[in-house]
Amino acid sequence: MKYTKNRYGLYILLLLLGSCSKSPVADREEPAPEPVPVDLRSTREKYSTAITECPEAEWYTGIIKRELAELPANPHTGPSSSVLQLGKTLFFEKRMGSIQNSCSSCHNPAKFWTDGRKVALGGGVRNTPSIENAWYLKGHLFHDGRATTYADQITEAIESPIEMDGDLNIIPWRLSQIPGYIALFEAAYGSSTITRERILDALEVYIKSIHSSETAFDRFVRGDYNALTDQQIEGLHLFRTKAKCINCHNGPFFTDLDYHNLGYATNYRGSLDNGCQEATGLEADKGKFRTPGLRNVANTAPYWHNGEIGTLEEVIDLLNRGMPHTGRQRINGRLSPHIRPLQLTSDEQQAIVAFLNALSSPEPHVVAPDLTQ
């Protein structure tokens, strides 16, 4: 009887001990996840910090991620040199060609180094690209990248029958008949000998010195968070996120220096432009053109390599709708996979345009040299 009571007491004790321990089910339960905090800050508050600490940009797969940045110093500027002064004079010299136009005829500083025309003066089929910040292009010259050196690019511009129609085999002799140039070449190179190579070198030195200046965006990323309006900050946010602009327009000059097919390939003559394929011969490059930088983009209409689009509002609208191809415009080659409908609202499109205006710097004031003799 005593043995039975002891067994009964032990059983009760085990039950009591068991009731105080966690059940096997409770041991397996995961703690409830912490709720994701909702960021209630305004867009201005989110962007009032270093650009690298702003909301994460939305990148497509395979993109080299380069954040937007302020304008870097141009390493090709400094105290004015004799070579620079010679290059500037040659840049404005109309006697370099046979049709009385100069480099400045198409690259006019008063128009932010473009000409404001649909296609270049002289009968070309492409829009004149700005040469502002050309030093940064590093071998990506012309819309299709066909010139890899500045000497090649300048030579083609001078000798092209639809640009200056000059002859660099004759120009040195022609300039040697002008007393003012004898003195300029002497000062620049230590002798009055005028050669093709010296002409190209001086022009390259001057062209590399051309750059944009500070913008509201630059002041903003340096910490002046009042430099942009609320609408422009909203546009900056959309540029980096929903609109996906940053995928091609990134870095300090807002260009990836790559080539893309946007599908608007028909020029004003109604012919298809093969773009980079004309330089590389590769089928994959058909219809591709270099991504333009966006500094001063608000001042360099019309747009596209063919000058087909007149306003930034039209540019954003077309990209928002996935570049619809209506009328005479057609895809030539394979359309870039980055082109897709964005579903931006009207207000969002206006905000992006407002941001692009914040990339404008003051108009350059360049006095053309006076060399009449």
In CATH, the architecture of 82-208 is: Orthogonal Bundle (1.10)
Residues 293 and 253: beta-carbon distance below 8 Å = yes
- CA-to-CA distance for 132 and 128, rounded, in angstroms? 12
pLDDT averaged over every residue in the chain: 90
Q: Is 20 annotated as a binding residue?
A: no
Residue 12, pLDDT > 70, answer: no
**pLDDT per residue as tens digits for the range 231-248:** 999 999 999 999 999 999
**pLDDT per residue as tens digits for the range 179-201:** 999 999 999 999 999 999 999 99
- Band the pLDDT of 32: cuts 50, 70, 90: confident
Find the helix or strand (DSSP H, E) in which 289 lies. strand 289-290
Q: How far apart are the first and last CA of the chain?
A: 136
Is there a shared CATH topology between the 43-71+214-357 domain and the 82-208 domain?
yes
**pLDDT per residue as tens digits for the range 99-139:** 788 999 999 999 999 999 999 877 678 999 999 999 999 88
Q: Is 365 annotated as a binding residue?
A: no
Residues 68 and 51: beta-carbon distance below 8 Å = yes
**pLDDT per residue as tens digits for the range 34-79:** 777 788 899 999 999 999 999 999 999 999 999 999 999 999 987 6
Residue 73 CA: distances (Å) to CA of 34, 54, 112, 135, 272 = 46, 24, 18, 11, 39
- Residue spans of the domains in the chain: they are 43-71+214-357, 82-208
Sign of dihedral through CA atoms 336, 341, 342, 347? positive
Q: Is 103 annotated as a binding residue?
A: yes
| Vertex 287 angle, CA 349 and 296, to 5° | 40
Residues 322 and 341: beta-carbon distance below 8 Å = yes
- Band the pLDDT of 372: cuts 50, 70, 90: low
Nearest to 306 by CA among 336, 325, 329: 329
Cis geometry, peptide bond prior to residue 324 (ω within 30 degrees of 0) = no
Residues 331 and 274: beta-carbon distance below 8 Å = no
Secondary structure in 3-state letters for 307-333? CCECCHHHHHHHHHCCCCCCCCCCCCC
Q: Is 245 annotated as a binding residue?
A: yes
Residue 361, pLDDT > 60, answer: yes
- Band the pLDDT of 9: cuts 50, 70, 90: very low
Q: Is 106 annotated as a binding residue?
A: yes
What pLDDT sits at residue 138? 85
**114: β partners:** 108
Q: What is the CA radius of gyration of the chain?
A: 31
Burial of 174-183, coded b for 16+ CB within 10 Å and e otherwise, reads ebeebeebee
Quick one: average pLDDT of 254-279?
92
Share of the chain above pLDDT 90, in %: 77
In CATH, the architecture of 43-71+214-357 is: Orthogonal Bundle (1.10)
Find the helix or strand (DSSP H, E) in which 175 lies. helix 171-176
Residue 5, pLDDT > 80, answer: no
- Band the pLDDT of 230: cuts 50, 70, 90: very high
